[in-house]
Amino acid sequence: MPNLTSKTAVISLEHASENGYQSINIDSMPSEQVQQVEADPISVLREQRAYSPNKDLLNACNALVQIANSINDDGKIKVSAKGVNSINRQLGCDMNLQRIRKIKTKHLPKKELIAQTLLKVAENIKLGKTYCDHISGVGEVERGLNFSFTSHTWCKSDFDRQRELTLKKGSVLSDYNELYWEGKYQDRSKYFYFPYQYRVKTKHEIAKEFEQAHEKALRADIRLNKAIRKAEKIEKNRVENASIIIANIENSVFDYLNKNHKKPLFLDTETTGLGRHNQVIELAIVDNDGFVVIDTLLYTDTLIEYDAKVIHCINESTIQNMPKFSEIQDCVLKLIANKDLWIFNKWFDIGVMENSACGDFSIDIKSTNCLMEFSAEKLGCNDRYISLANACYKCSVSSGTHRAKSDALASARLYNSLMNITPNQEF
């Protein structure tokens, strides 16, 4: 072990005491003894009998020995509540007293290895060694006795998070004890240490780390500002392009309403997915003569699900410069007001439009006609749920291509066909 300053040796031994061991004060020691402590503090502690387990840690060791002996005797596990509490406190375990007492040791797999491991761990703790050395039985202990034995032990990542501590000169992380265990992810490993392998950071190191953290924060701010400027530029381009599309939609709606058409309207949407919180990314409204009043892609910052992309082939780049639904929602409401509106599966389409809208947007679902239910009734289906493609097939009309305009026109053709069905017509 490399030479250390007196202060480092004291701090190291104090950290060792936090793991259940007593420390010694070297301020009153002769210089020769201080040098000996700096060279090998653990040996000095053992010689002075200062490096010994405290009472609670000793109780934990005795409880481990009791459990090991019970396993070797093929009887019920005999351990006190006090011993279990000591194990949980000192070793960071989650052992349950009632659960461990119910274990039948006679049928316990690899019980000899489990018992040997518990005895070895207890011995290591009493000797001041790293108690989770490279012991293959630790995994068997966790599985056989059904409690976590290593989840809260000190490891290198725990010490890295302690800003006051750093590895001593000459120490290499990969040289230390390594523990493997089986679980959900195979070949996992964790390195275990005792604090005397670390030293207190100097003021220069702390200042350097503070400076590095400050520089890192500045770089993060620069990246954030760049991202904000990029987002603002993208939004500016979107607004410029969307304003042209919105103006065309407003003119189309205005012209259609001026003609005072009394024809039924058919609305269809494409969305980011099939969930209840998804949003509209394409909208089309046509009349039963096939006249297209609105047909537009719509922008949203909600990610489009993969399954939805496969169906309608619309991705994020396709809608990047399109208007938002909230920017055309007033036009939609003006167009469908007091009109005979038909939607195939009206609950879904009205729901996603309300998700995408802002402010006061409401479509009366009771006064809106559901073409899906109407089709199921006319075609004599036992269930009210029928797909648009299936309904079109039964009526011998061409179906849509999973785009808003195409499906809206298919809905209009389906409606016209259903209205011409005779009462006794079979499908």
Q: Looking at 131-289, which runs of residues are DSSP E strands?
A: 165-167, 178-181, 188-191, 198-200, 265-271, 280-287
Q: How far apart are CA 343 and CA 347, in angstroms?
A: 9
Alpha-carbon dihedral sign for residues 314, 362, 276, 385: negative
Token pair belonging to 99: 């659960």
High-pLDDT (> 70) share of the chain, %: 72
Other beta carbons less than 10 A from residue 159's beta carbon? 18
Alpha-carbon dihedral sign for residues 419, 420, 426, 427: negative
Other beta carbons less than 10 A from residue 301's beta carbon? 9
Q: What is the pLDDT of residues 183-193, one digit of tens each?
A: 443 344 444 44
420/292: higher pLDDT: 292
SS3 221: helix
Mean pLDDT of 283-307: 93
Of 160-164, 296-300, 397-401, the one with minimum mean pLDDT is: 160-164
High-pLDDT (> 90) share of the chain, %: 36
- Cα-only R_g, the chain: 37
Q: How far apart are CA 37 and CA 23, in angstroms?
A: 12
Q: Which residues pair with 180 in a beta bridge?
A: 189
Q: Outline where 96-202 has alpha helix (H).
A: 97-101, 111-127, 138-145, 156-160
- Per the CB < 8 A criterion, the answer to whether 305 and 325 are in contact is no
What domains are there in the chain, each with its CATH number?
31-202 (no CATH), 239-419 (3.30.420.10)
Other beta carbons less than 10 A from residue 326's beta carbon? 15
| Amino acid (one-letter) located at 116 | Q
Q: Is the pLDDT confidence value at 204 over 80?
A: yes
Of 51-55, 68-72, 280-284, 399-403, the one with minimum mean pLDDT is: 51-55
